[in-house]
Amino acid sequence: MRPDTIDDQTAQERFSVALRRAQAEFNEMPGLPLTMAQAARLWAFDSALCTAVLSTLVEQRFLVQTRSQVFARA
């Protein structure tokens, strides 16, 4: 196995864990509104990971993003 393959797998695993964590938080608190910055601080995600997670959840229609850039349960 090539080293870059290992890095890709690690990144994918980290993303999957982060995605499940974000979904769990919004499921536990369905009325929770978060900006990108608030979410990154709450979950200790770097900005790239947070953007990827929240964008994926919006694409999956699990979350909506308001005009004021707040993410909340759909």
> Taking the chain, what is the end-to-end CA distance rounded to the nearest angstrom?
41
Token pair in block for residue 60? 């999956």
Residue 12 is part of a domain; what is its CATH number? 1.10.10.10
Distance (Å, rounded) from C-alpha 5 to C-alpha 1?
A: 7
Domain membership of residue 32 as a residue range: 3-73
- How many domains does the chain contain in total? 1
pLDDT tens for each residue of the chain, 74 residues long: 444 444 677 888 999 999 999 999 999 998 999 999 999 999 999 999 999 999 999 999 999 999 999 999 99
Element counts in the chain: helices (H) and strands (E): 3, 3
Token pair in block for residue 64? 């909506």
State the pTM of this model: 0.86
C-alpha closest to that of 39 among 52, 16, 10 = 52
Q: What backbone phi and psi angles, to 5 degrees, belong to 66?
A: -80, 175
